[in-house]
Amino acid sequence: MKTYVLAGAVLLLTGCALIEPGKPLEKPIAECDEQPLRLDVSRFSRNTSLLPGEWKWVKTTVYFTISGRPSVQTPCSAGYTETLRIRPEGTVEVYRNDTLAYRQSLQEFLDRHLIWGVYYRDLLILSSTPIDGAEHLYVRAR
């Protein structure tokens, strides 16, 4: 188990960052782009005051697969959209195709992921890759 956690942490931290700290996203991340992203999560803020708002799911990447190649799912390949509505009072509502799928407290929602962060108010990452989990990427809805 320690080997997997260490390997996941190394993959996360050594992946090349596609964004620079302190700069907003210059172009939107394509909704159907199935290329895995490598993001330096240390550049993301864990300030919960940045979370309230509406977030659109862009992609989910699983790096530990049987084939050894990352598996990427997007709204295009999954056949559904997903939106997070994070309320200022600490509630998260998850909508699939504009229908409420579930609701839970912000703390419960964040506890499901080992790593989370917000980049320049525009990009939200939720990751469990250190334990062979998925990395979910959302962009703030405009």
Tens of pLDDT, residue by residue over 21-65, are 445 555 556 668 887 777 777 788 999 999 999 999 999 988 877
Task: Give the chain's domain count.
Answer: 1
Would you say residue 25 lies in a domain? no
Would you say residue 97 lies in a domain? yes
Would you say residue 133 lies in a domain? yes
Helices of type H across 15-105: 75-78
Backbone angles phi, psi at 125, to 5 degrees: -120, 135
Would you say residue 26 lies in a domain? no
Question: Which of 120, 60, 55 lies closest to 92 in space, CA to CA?
Answer: 55
Range of the domain at 75: 2-19+32-140
Tens of pLDDT, residue by residue over 61-113, are 888 777 778 889 999 999 999 999 999 999 999 999 999 999 999 999 999 88
pLDDT given for residue 31 in this prediction: 66
Question: Which of 23, 102, 87, 21 lies closest to 49 in space, CA to CA?
Answer: 87
Count of beta carbons in the 10 Å neighbourhood of residue 28: 11
- pTM of the full structure: 0.76
Would you say residue 9 lies in a domain? yes
Would you say residue 112 lies in a domain? yes
Would you say residue 24 lies in a domain? no
First to last CA, the chain: 41
- List the Cα angle 70/140/64 in 5-degree steps: 15
Would you say residue 27 lies in a domain? no
